[in-house]
Amino acid sequence: MSNIPKETRTTIMPCMRYRDAPGAIDWLCSTLGFEASLVVPNEDGSIAHAQLSYGNGMVMLGSIFDTEYGRLMKQPGEIGMAVTQSAYLVVNNADEVYERALRAGAPILMELKDEDYGGRGFTLRDPEGHVWSIGTYDPWKQ
């Protein structure tokens, strides 16, 4: 068995589900700066699959469906707003993203601050309760 990762732009991508996937796509793009590189809508307006890129990273998302894969996940609102994973977004200017998040009405869970380990960042909840940390800390540059 080979333990060598595939040679590609990024080898790990969070996969998320949203009740209002079209709204989530709009929010993630306008507030956090993602770009919708692929959106596959269903006839009913739900999203079968979407790929949102940010630099050389990406998240994949879609609408909630009652499928084998869909039943593996719970939304934060179904489990007391808890999450079992979160995403970290490396940005050039955390203050700028923080201001956009405030204007978008995002609940700030951890205020913008300089971190002891380097970088500047904050943590928020998106409109459906997923937790995102945003900051300038770049683990590849350490």
In this prediction, residue 1 carries a pLDDT of: 57
pLDDT at 142: 67
- 62 C-beta neighbours (distance < 10 Å), count: 21
> Please, where are the H alpha helices in the chain?
21-32, 94-103
Q: How confident is the model at residue 3 (pLDDT cuts 50, 70, 90)?
A: confident
Tens digits of per-residue pLDDT, 20-76?
999 999 999 999 999 999 999 999 999 999 999 999 999 999 999 999 999 999 999
Separation of alpha carbons 112 and 120, rounded Å: 7
d(CA 13, CA 90): 14
Of residues 11 and 73, more confidence is placed in 73
**Dist CA 96 CA 74 (whole Å):** 31
How far apart CA 105 and CA 100 sit, in angstroms, is 9
Whether residue 9 has pLDDT greater than 90:
no
Here the tokens at position 84 are 């079992």
pLDDT at 7: 79
Parallel/antiparallel/unpaired status of strands 87-90 and 108-114: unpaired
- Which tens digit of pLDDT belongs to each residue from 77-135? 999 999 989 999 999 999 999 999 999 999 999 999 999 989 999 999 999 999 999 99
